[in-house]
Amino acid sequence: LFEKNETGASQFGAAMFTWQTNFTLKNSIIRNNMAYNGAGMYNDGRDGVSAFLIENCVFDSNSVTSYGGTCLYNWIDNFEIRDCIFKDNYAPTTGSAMYNRSCVGIIKDCLFENGFAGEIGVTGFGGAVANYSAGSDVVLEGCTFRNNIAGTSGGAVTVGFTAKTTLKDCLFEGNTARFGGAVFNQNDSTTLIVDGCTFNENGAEIVGGALNLSSGIFASVKNSVFFSNSSDVGGAIDISEDSLDLASLDVENCVFRDNFCLTQSGAININ
């Protein structure tokens, strides 16, 4: 049990800090910890890539005072995270559960619930998970994202800055944001692959009740179901591009049912 640990101002890793380390963490509870960044764990592999396994752990009610990656801040790491629960965690800007920066990893059979990133209408990306930066290739498989909130973009997940993210056999339910109620994909050369996922009752105030895809990205959405998602524009999916940075969206073998828009396109909006 790691409980009620705290760092000083501008410090990282209240429960654990790792530097160029290979480790395994199993059957643990990480609860009510507070740090400037990475309240649960701060894993730094900048000077030599770290590799770790986290299995059957619970991350509950942790918080940070700046930025994000509340439970796990991972920087240039190789990792596997499976059968874990992330619930009721808070980040002031990005990723209440984890922030993955230039990482290669798989996150499997995990629950992300009631996470909150940012301040409503002001800031906040990735209510649960943020995957960012060149070299990132993260797979989320068999995970459930429920009732997570981002102040602006990506109620559950945000992807950006040339990162690649694969969502396979995941459930997104009741997540909310202004842009991309479940997932927000931003910046040029960023890649999002969605396969076999269910998006149910996610909501965005502005665009993309389930998915919001910005210019210069590639997205593939296959074998997935979009049910009862809502937004002002693009009740299920919104894709926006400009003349210089063209986006690419491939949709195959998907079902769109009972999605709602207030202004334009109940299912897919292409702008």
- Ranges of beta strands (E only) in 95-197 are 98-101, 104-108, 111-113, 116-117, 129-132, 137-141, 144-146, 149-150, 157-160, 164-168, 171-173, 176-179, 183-185, 191-195
pLDDT per residue as tens digits for the range 15-44: 999 998 899 999 999 999 999 999 999 999
What's the average model confidence in pLDDT over 66-77?
Answer: 93
Nearest-angstrom CA–CA distance, 133 and 159? 9
Mean pLDDT of the chain: 95
| Beta carbons of 232 and 207 less than 8 angstroms apart | yes
Among 75, 45, 158, 160, which residue's Cα sits nearest to residue 112? 158
Model confidence at 122: pLDDT above 70 = yes
| Beta carbons of 240 and 247 less than 8 angstroms apart | yes
Q: Can you give the pLDDT at residue 152?
A: 97
Nearest-angstrom CA–CA distance, 91 and 66? 7
pLDDT per residue as tens digits for the range 214-267: 877 889 999 999 999 999 999 999 998 665 667 788 999 999 999 999 999 999
Residue 214's domain comprises: 2-270
User: Measured between alpha carbons, how far apart are the two ends of the chain, in Å?
Assistant: 49
| Beta carbons of 232 and 263 less than 8 angstroms apart | yes
- For the chain, give the percent of residues with pLDDT over 90: 86
Q: Can you give the pLDDT at residue 204?
A: 98
Lowest-confidence segment of 26-30, 45-49, 179-183 by average pLDDT: 45-49
CATH number at residue 222: 2.160.20
Model confidence at 98: pLDDT above 60 = yes
What's the average model confidence in pLDDT over 142-165?
Answer: 97
Nearest-angstrom CA–CA distance, 22 and 79? 9
Highest mean pLDDT among 49-53, 134-138, 197-201: 197-201
Count of domains in the chain?
Answer: 1
Tell me the backbone φ, ψ of residue 112, rounded to 5 degrees.
-120, 115
Residue 94 carries which side chain, given as an amino acid letter? T
